[in-house]
Structure 1
Amino acid sequence: MKAVIMQAFGGPEVLTVQDIQLPEPGPGQVLVKVKAAGVNFMDTGVRRGLGAAWELPMTLGVEGAGIVLATGPQVTEFVAGDRVAWHYVPGSYGEKVIAPVSQLVPLPDDIDFATAASLMMQGLTASNLVDKVHRIQPGDVAFVHAAAGGVGLLLTQMIKLHGGKVIGRVSQADKVDVVLAAGADYVVIGRAHNIAGQVLRLTEGQRVNVVYDGTGSEGFADSLSLLDYFGTLALYGPFMNPIPPIDIFSVPRSIKLTYPSVMHYVREREVLLEKSRQLFAWVGAGKLKTVIGKRYSLEEAGQAHRDIESRNTTGKLIIVP
């Protein structure tokens, strides 16, 4: 089988397609034919060697959807032919992947594989942000950075589903329409570090209840300044520009600052199944829509990384093996 392999850390050029042999699935595992894999900023961080002590060579990718080909010992939840999706199974940039049953969810017949691969990681991340991190109440005003990205578009829709109002930020004018189509009440254009004044003029000086910020240090100061008393600054994602140490006594207005992990949100299998079913139900009912920005082959994985790091894309990027 073919997979995207990297032998060294570095730029997108380290990603190459090679033939590899997977082992037979072990206890609690299944072999899955990957029909679509999601591209995430997390993948670019792993490619550069950030975070954990990654072992090389390795296959990138963690998110996807596909069909069960074979099951290992002690597997009773799935059989060959079942449609499944996952938010975290390392090695997903390949034609096949060995997946632990604990990470798989059943994929309804009315959800196609590309939609599922564009929904799992970012959909569960957005669900966590509007549910556990800051439970959106009717009338809450939320400011969403990078609103035209995969997480941003899902966040915008979920905030509206919970009765909140959304001010979205995009970096350029050609991204405005897709954010408005997702339900945003207002969209502002500008860089993350130079946006607070524009937002406060829009709200006539009223600060917001929550800021969802995946920009890292670039937008941190403006995000803080936009928060009302007891507002929440929810940081998410692997940051290309890490935030420097914070003087806690300089933080204004009794705010809450959090950097949540989607892994903690769905650490129990029952919650993973419940939240995934909710995402699929919203999609099936037309209440939640994914936007696929571009599809790539395995051979184009390096270009997918260049595109997502450029921050000039909209929606979700996926790899179709």
Structure 2
Amino acid sequence: MTSARVVELTEFGGPEVMRLVNAGLPAPAAGQVQLRQTAIGFNYIDVYQRSGKYPLPSPTGLGHEAAGVVEAVGEGVTALREGDRVVYMHAGIGAYASRRNVPADKLVKLPDSIDDLTAAAIFFKAMTAQYLVRKTHPVQAGDVVLVHAAAGGVGQILSSWAKALGATVIGTAGSAEKCEVARAAGCDVAINYSQADWVEQVIAATDGRKARVVYDSVGKHTFMGSLDCAAPFGLVALYGAASGPVPAFEPELLSKKGCLFLTRPSVFPHNADPQTFRANAADVFQAIGQGAIRAAIGARFPLEQVAEAHRAAEARATTGAILLLP
């Protein structure tokens, strides 16, 4: 049995409830591989799950994504072998660990051109952006696209990828400083949605055309404005609710706002099938290779300092991705 360091949660609460423990790790079962993890990605959903806002069965681990090296292969696994570099983002809770066993069909090989830190920093967020710009609304040259929270991890990738596809990208963010980040990520215009007239500013920035698609991860604070920013027959893709759930409304409102389409997509159903997952990942790797998206690593913390990493995230003390290093 191999030894692993694992972040364990036996109660929900502040960052201090996370405990780094030594645990025995058995050999991988059939269909699994054992990974030595080299870089672990932080996502804000980790805070929600740690605090109990999105409760998990207890005791539990934390974390959704990591990169690492295959150290052992279970029975029946033929597509991977020892020494392969891999990345994952939906292999079950428990990425906060130095080693773990993972189902082989939840892993994708990393090309030599992408290092482990980049992969762990960007993969989950880039896979989210991938289905949004390729499936939810296939972005075309000439589209006007509105990206809320454009300075966030997914928002920056959405903005740069949509720009690379030829769209005019309007971004919103919650402060003047974050608007600068959004512009650096590829937004043609960045608007502070803390200002009362942000909707009017968006419409003016498009010369009244409005947006063919609105990507909204904020929810409560932006959603009704998103409906006003969408062009007739446009799409509002509500893929998150960082400010809380959207208010209840009558579907007739979509007709009144311009016969709009509304969807509430998620990354996991778009990657539930292993073959589709790998094809989507290949699309992400190609976009990274072409420079359409890039990793912005804001902070790195040893796994022993996982509590400090969560505190920095909650205090908005960093910009860019946060990594945990085993």
TM, length-normalised to structure 2: 0.92
Taking structure 1 as reference, are residues 175 and 240 closer, same or farther at Cα in structure 2, changes over 3 Å only? closer
Residue 38 (structure 1) shift: 1.0
> Could you tell me which of 87, 92, 107 is aligned with 2:89?
87
Taking structure 1 as reference, are residues 158 and 192 closer, same or farther at Cα in structure 2, changes over 3 Å only? farther
Residue 103 (structure 1) shift: 0.5
Which residue of the partner structure matches residue 165 of structure 2? 162
Which residue of the partner structure matches residue 48 of structure 1? 51
Separation in 1, partners of 2:287, 2:117? 16
Letter aligned with residue 277 of structure 1: A
Secondary structure of the residue aligned to 1:244 is: coil
- In structure 2, stretches of 5+ residues that fail to align are none
Secondary structure of the residue aligned to 2:157 is: helix
Separation in 1, partners of 2:197, 2:177? 19
Letter aligned with residue 78 of structure 1: L
TM, length-normalised to structure 1: 0.93
Which residue of the partner structure matches residue 253 of structure 1? 258
What do the CA deviations read for 1:63-99 (whole angstroms, capped 9, x no partner)? Answer: 1101011111111111111100011122111111211
What do the CA deviations read for 1:109-165 (whole angstroms, capped 9, x no partner)? Answer: 121111101222111100111111111121111111111111011101111222211
Which residue of the partner structure matches residue 74 of structure 1? 76
State yes or no: 1:270 paired with 2:275: yes
Separation in 1, partners of 2:51, 2:201? 35
State yes or no: 1:226 paired with 2:238: no
What do the CA deviations read for 1:1-37 (whole angstroms, capped 9, x no partner)? Answer: 2222111122322222122222221110011011111
What do the CA deviations read for 1:239-279 (whole angstroms, capped 9, x no partner)? Answer: 45122333222232111111111111122222211121121
Q: Which has the higher contact order (CA 8 A, sep 6+)?
A: 1
Secondary structure of the residue aligned to 1:262 is: coil
Separation in 1, partners of 2:220, 2:195? 9
State yes or no: 1:300 paired with 2:302: no
**Aligned-residue identity in percent:** 38
Superposition CA RMSD, Å: 1.9
Deviates more, 1:198-207 or 1:141-150: 198-207
> Could you tell me which of 59, 63, 87 is aligned with 1:57?
59
Letter aligned with residue 27 of structure 1: A
Taking structure 1 as reference, are residues 287 and 250 closer, same or farther at Cα in structure 2, changes over 3 Å only? closer
Separation in 1, partners of 2:195, 2:184? 21
Taking structure 1 as reference, are residues 311 and 270 closer, same or farther at Cα in structure 2, changes over 3 Å only? same
Letter aligned with residue 314 of structure 1: T
Taking structure 1 as reference, are residues 60 and 192 closer, same or farther at Cα in structure 2, changes over 3 Å only? farther
Letter aligned with residue 309 of structure 1: E
Count of residue correspondences: 320
